[in-house]
Amino acid sequence: MNAPAPPQRTVATNARVLAIAIPMTLANVTTPLLGVVGTAVIGRLGQAHLLGAVAMASVVFDCMFWLFSFLRMGTVALTAQALGRGDVVEERATLIRALIVAAATGLALIVLQVPLGAIIFRLMGASAEVTAAAQAYFFVRIWSAPFVFANLVMLGWFIGLARAPIALALQVAVSAINVIVAALLVLHFDFGVAGAAAGAVVGEAFGTLSGLLLAMRVVGARLPARALIFDRARLIQLLVINRDIFIRTAALIFAWGFFAAQGARSGDLLLAANSVLHNLMLVGAFFLDGFASAAEQLCGRAVGARDGNAFARAVRLSIGWGFGFGVATTLVLLVFGGQLIDLMTASPEVRVTARAYLIYAALACVIGVFAFAYDGIYTGATWARDMRNLMLVTLVLYLATWWLTLPLGNTGLWIAILTFFGARGALQAARYPALARATFKPATAPR
């Protein structure tokens, strides 16, 4: 085995932040397209129950696959740290280990698809006609799980190597193949909802094959030694990081699910208005997540190189750029939010109601800057346990705020979700100095 190359000094610059953040922002935009494409293609058939079924099943997969985003986040961190150390062999080993975990996880979902589907659709409580169509979609698309998870790993690996344009190209390719195959199977070969699901499977499989070929071009076909790949300590480190990020993500999904459920209990009008505003917030989230990805790579690389000054600069730049885009998004929503609401709904009642709460959605973009940025920083530094614990504390604060503001109705619900955003960033910022001191030696501690 070759000895690791001497670590090179890692300098975080504005150009490096943007070189990662911009492609990842564009990649994030493509992520929801799989469900959107399926819905759009099925919508051409003119059958309402099929459209509802695909929309419902797409939400199920969005949430389920989001739960396993730790495969991307953990891979970014460990790959970037290996890059910072100059350890090319460990870069390759990290990819293979993560792909093994991804394959095992995806196959487990396939094996458990029948009981999993039964639980999901019983909870959804849709009509028999919609449920039957949604199941037809579900039991085809579930076969994409190993490919989806492998693509998450490779997305994280390319980001960790600071090759974000490759990650973007893979995401675009997956979406493009999905569009073509789904349209052919549904509109030309009359496969119905199963054709829309098959389009997603083929798209993800194409992404996995393309990603593996590109990875081989980057590092060559030579594999690390089996003993290194299955090194006990490194496998445990990967699994522990993934476990902690999994719990953190589950808490995050619960928070958003609780927000949606409380809106639904308040009536169809508030549910619709909150959904419109949530979609507007996603625009800001795409940008903020792009800068979080930049923080993951640059901070992880600095940790690997044991360069505290580079780490501190990466933190400042990631937060600075994120804050700038957060403020810009907030201002755009405050100025043009009314027009955007009108584009998203034709209902006069929903338009009026959404405008009444627009201020909260706009503020979420700037308040959420620190939550997104510190998530990226903590991930890159592999402070996953602290990120998990602080997320759980934040969830308690969120629920407490909701309970205290119950008399305010939907306004209280929005105050609670803003508290959730703000508390996440504030708690992580408060914990950051101690973690940074513990990570770096005094001679290289962040200044």
pLDDT at 189: 85
Q: For residue 132, what pLDDT band results from cuts at 50, 70 and 90?
A: confident
Q: What is the sign, positive or negative, of the torsion defined by CA atoms of 78, 83, 85, 90?
A: positive
More confident call, 37 vs 341: 341
Q: Are 424 and 391 in contact (CB under 8 A)?
A: yes
Measured distance CA(28)–CA(429) in Å, rounded:
25
pLDDT at 444: 54
pLDDT at 61: 86
pLDDT at 49: 64
Mean per-residue pLDDT, 14-25: 89
Say whether pLDDT at 443 is over 60. no
Greatest mean pLDDT among 37-46, 146-155, 253-262, 275-284:
146-155
Angle between helices 308-344 and 369-380 (to 10 degrees): 140
Instruction: Enumerate residues 6+ apart whose C-beta is below 8 A from 65.
Output: 145, 148, 149, 152
Mean per-residue pLDDT, 423-432: 96
Measured distance CA(342)–CA(348) in Å, rounded:
9
Distances (CA, A) of 383 to 96, 252, 313: 22, 17, 18
Q: For residue 269, what pLDDT band results from cuts at 50, 70 and 90?
A: confident
Mean per-residue pLDDT, 98-120: 94
Alpha helices per DSSP H over 266-347: 268-305, 308-344
CA 5 from centre of chain: 32
pLDDT tens track for 74-92: 999 999 999 999 999 999 9
Q: Are 98 and 238 in contact (CB under 8 A)?
A: yes
Say whether pLDDT at 447 is over 60. no
Instruction: Enumerate residues 6+ apart whose C-beta is below 8 A from 421.
Output: 364, 367, 368, 371
Percentage of the chain exceeding pLDDT 70: 90
pLDDT tens track for 197-243: 898 899 999 999 999 999 988 877 677 888 999 999 999 999 999 99
Angle between helices 369-380 and 358-367 (to 10 degrees): 30
Closest-CA residue to 248 (of 439, 422, 73, 431)? 73
Q: Are 134 and 126 in contact (CB under 8 A)?
A: yes
**Average per-residue pLDDT for the chain:** 87
pLDDT at 1: 44
pLDDT at 125: 66
pLDDT at 405: 95
Q: For residue 303, what pLDDT band results from cuts at 50, 70 and 90?
A: very high
Alpha helices per DSSP H over 44-163: 48-67, 70-85, 88-111, 113-124, 128-141, 145-160
More confident call, 144 vs 60: 144
Model confidence, pTM = 0.89
The SS3 call for residue 224 is coil
pLDDT at 28: 77
Percentage of the chain exceeding pLDDT 90: 56
More confident call, 47 vs 110: 110
Q: What is the sign, positive or negative, of the torsion defined by CA atoms of 292, 297, 303, 306?
A: negative
Say whether pLDDT at 130 is over 80. no
pLDDT tens track for 26-58: 887 766 555 556 556 666 665 666 666 676 777
pLDDT at 226: 87
Say whether pLDDT at 10 is over 70. no
pLDDT at 31: 62
Break the chain into its structural domains and give their ranges. Answer: 12-230, 240-442
